[in-house]
Amino acid sequence: MHTATIFIELGGIVLALGVLGALALRAGISPIPLYLLAGLAFGKGGILPLATSEDFVAVGAELGVVLLLLTLGLEYNADELVASLRGNARGGLVDLVLNAAPGAVVALLLGWGPVAAVAMAGVTYATSSGITAKVLSDLGWIGNRETPVVLSLLVFEDLTMAMYLPILTAILAGVSLAGGAVTVAIALGAVSVVLVAALRFGRFIEAFVASPNSEVLLLKVVGLALAVAGVAQQLQVSAAVGAFLVGIALSGELAHEARALLMPLRDLFAAVFFVFFGLQTDPGSILPMAGIAAALAVVSMVTKLATGAYAARRAGVARAGQARAGIALIPRGEFNIVIAGLAVAAGAHPDLGPLAAGYVLILAAFGPLAARLVQPLITLVARRA
Amino acid sequence: MEIEQTALPGIGLKHEFTTQSGRRIAVVSHRTGRRDVVVYDRHDPDRACETVKLNDEEADALAELLGAPRIVQRLNDLHREVEGLVSVQLPIAEGSPYAGRPMGQARARTRTGASVVAVVRAGQVHASPSPDFGLMAGDVVVVVGSPESTAAVADILVRG
């Protein structure tokens, strides 16, 4: 009987996600906000609370994060990361300072304390590379001259995340200042060791994983990613970062194949992850936070626009391109929810989850729409000039 | 003409240049094998106003269409530049000993000093064919070399 209810509930959730995804596709927005809304509706305090499948959904959500980060890592190879760091450190730093600040400031103003401030800084910092890549491709912006700038900022953000997540996990673990420093040092040491290993010995890992059979390849990649994620978790480095590093270590033809195989798996479990975050958030608690979330969204839209304009101008791109770079950087999504999820699970301030949910709902939905709406305007201005 | 190459992290590579008439065009090579031909806006040269997505097969076809006439033209240029060098087109007849055999077995270059630079089959140019390229009756083999060596290749292809 028990399995039957779990299947019915899960089937209902996944089916509902499918329908929502179709709607999002038609409206030309990212499905992530809709998945969050679905989670809110099915979760505690929602319209139709589900109970039996919660454990399964929780594990599925963790898997979703691991797969999200693994496929993200597969997109990059180590050389690209290094080249991008060299060429764009300045733009990347401006991005970090301008966009981490709003979240941190809001958390401090609300009196949530320094730990929540670090978490909120992460929530407002990262652009969703998934949504941005889709927007660039949908609007035919991939060939544009500001696009390499946008992409390298995304690479920079992802790398920063690899450093930031272990620090955040260590701080959230709530150890004393001295103990915290040790944990952070261990975490950063582990990340650096794996990064260097990936850079220099990536081909050995590739040789181990490579297989002409897609089934064997899939099992090896997922197995390796999960095992490394588990070990990383033990070291307080966060499972997500472990998976990200495995992805970076694999490159070339092998990475494409693995990515193609993993995509459907990732899409399924990532959707479950967004739902799970929504499930854990009481919709009633979002409303009081809505005003702050909207204000934060407006402020961080402006800071991302400024970031994009700054980085694009440095690359010698004209006015219109600078505006497009800024707009492409607006969407938030996967990472921001991952960070908020970590903070909520570690028992940060109870309002952090609802605020992050409201914030991501607004920006993940508005980013792609903004790009679509503003495009004709930018073109018009460029023609006049 | 200067071709500018830009890395697109996570996507692939972009090559772009400006034509003599002032239009800027680019080819985006996706890692997945997809190719985008991009034409930039006259008024906003940073913006791609037209992007044509091509799959592997379509990209190959376009490259063939753009490349084939160029090979013939380059050959003509070649013997205008170098005196004593000729290019001849040698048809493989029904009874040729090499019809249905890999080109390498004729050992044309070793025996004569002339090079096979292309094989034209059914209107399609196969540039720089490898030694294991199988010749067929009806093919036209394009050979470059001195008048004597190319004549010797013609002899080999007819008599073996």
Q: Do the Cβ atoms of A148 and B51 come within 8 Å?
A: no
Q: Do the Cβ atoms of B51 and A140 come within 8 Å?
A: yes
Q: Do the Cβ atoms of A382 and B6 come within 8 Å?
A: no
Residue A6 lies in a domain: no
If you average pLDDT over every residue of chain A, what do you get? 86
The predicted structure's pLDDT at residue A385: 58
| Model confidence, pTM | 0.77
- Average pLDDT for A295-309: 95
The predicted structure's pLDDT at residue A313: 93
User: Is residue B9 domain-shared with residue B37, that is, in the same domain?
Assistant: yes
The predicted structure's pLDDT at residue B79: 62
Nearest to A143 among B28, B31, B32 (CB): B28
User: Is residue B47 domain-shared with residue B103, that is, in the same domain?
Assistant: no
Percent residues over pLDDT 70 in chain A: 96
User: Is residue B50 domain-shared with residue B74, that is, in the same domain?
Assistant: no
The predicted structure's pLDDT at residue A176: 60
Structure confidence by residue, pLDDT tens digits, A77-87: 777 777 777 77
Please tell me the total count of domains within chain B: 2
User: Is residue B30 domain-shared with residue B108, that is, in the same domain?
Assistant: no
Alpha carbon of B127: minimum distance to chain A alpha carbons (Å): 26
Q: Do the Cβ atoms of A152 and B9 come within 8 Å?
A: yes
Total residue length of chain B:
160
User: Is residue B74 domain-shared with residue B114, that is, in the same domain?
Assistant: yes
Structure confidence by residue, pLDDT tens digits, A10-58: 888 889 899 999 998 888 788 888 998 888 888 777 777 776 677 888 8
Alpha carbon of A156: minimum distance to chain B alpha carbons (Å): 11
Residue A188 lies in a domain: yes
Dihedral of the CA atoms A173, A174, A178, A184 (nearest 10)? 30
The predicted structure's pLDDT at residue A227: 94
For the CA atoms of chain A, what is the radius of gyration?
20
User: Is residue B75 domain-shared with residue B28, that is, in the same domain?
Assistant: no
Strands B48-54 and B24-30, by their bridges, are: unpaired
Residue A15 lies in a domain: no
Interface pTM, i.e. ipTM: 0.74
Residues of A in contact with B31 (CB under 8 A): 256
Distance CA A170, CA A232 (A): 12
Residue B36 lies in a domain: yes
Residue B101 lies in a domain: yes
The predicted structure's pLDDT at residue A301: 94
Please tell me the total count of domains within chain A: 1
Chain A: residue whose CA lies nearest to B32:
A256
The predicted structure's pLDDT at residue A10: 84
Residue A381 has pLDDT above 90, yes or no: no
Buried residues in A315-344 as b, exposed as e (16+ CB within 10 A): bebbbbbbbbbbbbbbbbbbbbbbbbbbbb
- Nearest one of B16, B11, B46 to A324, comparing CA atoms: B46
Distance CA A317, CA B48 (A): 13
Residue A331 lies in a domain: yes
Q: Do the Cβ atoms of A383 and B10 come within 8 Å?
A: no
Residue A22 lies in a domain: no
Residue A27 lies in a domain: no
Domain around A83: 35-380
CATH number at residue B130: 3.30.70.1450
CB atoms near residue A351 (< 10 Å) = 17
Interface of A with B in 135-154 (CB under 8 A): 140-148, 151-152, 154
pLDDT band at A123 (very low <50, low <70, confident <90, very high): very high
Q: Which two tokens stand for residue B17?
A: 């240049």
Q: Do the Cβ atoms of B40 and A320 come within 8 Å?
A: no
CATH number at residue A242: 1.20.1530.10
Residue A379 has pLDDT above 60, yes or no: yes
pLDDT band at A298 (very low <50, low <70, confident <90, very high): very high
pLDDT band at A312 (very low <50, low <70, confident <90, very high): very high
pLDDT band at A289 (very low <50, low <70, confident <90, very high): very high
The predicted structure's pLDDT at residue A7: 86
The predicted structure's pLDDT at residue A198: 72
Q: Which two tokens stand for residue B61?
A: 């076809």
User: Is residue B22 domain-shared with residue B78, that is, in the same domain?
Assistant: no
Residue B11 lies in a domain: yes
- Average pLDDT for A342-362: 90
Distance CA A108, CA A100 (A): 13
Contact A165, A238 (CB under 8 A): yes
Alpha carbon of A334: minimum distance to chain B alpha carbons (Å): 17
Tell me which of A77-86, A238-247, A331-340 is least confident.
A77-86
Alpha carbon of B28: minimum distance to chain A alpha carbons (Å): 7
Tens digit of pLDDT at every position of chain B (160 positions): 889 988 888 788 899 999 999 899 999 998 888 899 999 988 888 889 889 999 988 998 898 888 777 677 777 776 666 777 777 888 888 888 888 888 888 888 888 888 888 888 877 888 888 888 888 888 888 888 888 888 888 888 888 7
